[in-house]
Chain A
């Protein structure tokens, strides 16, 4: 069974620090990787997606992918209290895996001011 694992947290960081969120996946054939942010009681919002090994930066967010280690991470620089939310990692398989994203359970981030 394909799995996506995340530490549930909570991960607590002070305002202005770097928050590092990690995710591992079991399907070595996975091709696309996504990070969503979900505020309490709200729907997920797509933050970033990454397909290739290495880093991808978008503003204060950096996604990092290492397919050999089956590991994807999200770094949030200059963390703000408004970043406090649950961050969901999602993985899409390759080949005949179709379009379904498999989500992890999410990591709760708390940024203190």
Chain B
């Protein structure tokens, strides 16, 4: 499978716990994006990497969220001290240069905080 891969597909966690999600972009894509989507809403931008550099982070994102992309390959998104409001689908997308935005989305990680 040469698409964007996300792991896990589903995560149920108790409020206050930390969770970490992984995204493997399409191999030659240098741009990687994280979005969050709740039911009935469009995706909401979280953060963007070009290679290993995190170039943009949503001002709406609290300090409980952090993302990394070591060596410009896979990326991880960590949420600390989860809250019920963090329940959502977390989407990763990648693209190759240009100005096309997130071209290919992964299947997402559905987070449920109980």
A residues at B contact (CB < 8 Å): 4, 8, 31-32, 34, 42-46, 49, 51, 88, 90, 92, 98-106
Contacts and interface: CB of A to CB of B under 8 A. Distances in A.
A52 to B, nearest CB: 12
Given A34-B101, A43-B105, A100-B56, A105 B45 contact: no
A21 B56 CA distance: 30
Nearest to A32: B99
Main secondary structure of the interface of B (DSSP, over half): loop
A102 to B, nearest CB: 7
Interface of B: 31, 33, 40-45, 48, 55-56, 58, 91, 99-108
Nearest to A44: B105
Nearest to B47: A100
A50 to B, nearest CB: 11
